[in-house]
Copies of this chain bind each other. A is one copy, B any other.
């Protein structure tokens, strides 16, 4: 049981819009849980007993082949929703990319609760539709874009999504902290780590971006980046 009124993502997560009574009821079936970076919350193909809200940190949704290739099919930030309501198996694994905190619900209890709260289902539907749009947009990137276009698109998109998170600094140019390592960027873009690294190096050499440290990015020439992204 959780006191939702203290929750930091309270007005951005799907819980927003519930009245105090409903919120208390939802709080009863939810509990906060800390997850360490690298820890996997849900395994691809396994029964998924829980759904969750992200309170803090960044997690990835990943799909793997038997021979170890991985594709990251989604990245979730605070206030995002995790898991598969109305379905038993998780179609992908969910792994923390940083230390994180999530608000976990037993899936069937959540399904039951959602069944009686249309407002919540509406929120969930809108979110799912947005996720679907994002996934389809990403399919274009994976199916048709060159390595250069992929990296440019990635940097632009991530800079936008991070902006909503209060995770970026505002310098003279658009500067932010990547929540991913190079291998993870590669797994998001459907490239190898080498190709990803080479593209970043080249963009830096061409003066489009700056890379003050491994995880920092400054987009120096945004118009040109948008050009490249196609």
- A120-137 at interface with B (beta carbon < 8 Å): 121-122, 124-126, 128-129, 131-133, 135-137
Whether a CB of chain B sits under 8 angstroms from the CB of A30 is no
Q: Residues of B contacting A67 with CB < 8 Å?
A: 230
Q: Which residue of B lies closest to A118 (CB)?
A: B118
Interface size class of A (residues with CB under 8 A): 35 or more
Query: Would you give the shortest CB distance from A135 to chain B, in whole angstroms?
Result: 4
Q: Which residue of B lies closest to A133 (CB)?
A: B91
Q: Residues of B contacting A69 with CB < 8 Å?
A: 144
Contact of A129 among B73, B86, B136 (CB under 8 A): B86
Whether a CB of chain B sits under 8 angstroms from the CB of A61 is yes
Q: Which residue of B lies closest to A64 (CB)?
A: B140
Q: Which residue of B lies closest to A69 (CB)?
A: B144
Q: Residues of B contacting A19 with CB < 8 Å?
A: none
Query: Would you give the shortest CB distance from A126 to chain B, in whole angstroms?
Result: 5
Q: Residues of B contacting A121 with CB < 8 Å?
A: 118, 121-122, 125
B144 touches A135 (CB 8 A): no
CA distance A125 to B120 in the complex (A): 11
Q: Which residues of A contact B (CB under 8 A)?
A: 61, 63, 65-67, 69-71, 73-74, 84-87, 91-92, 115, 118, 121-122, 124-126, 128-129, 131-133, 135-140, 142-145, 189-190, 230
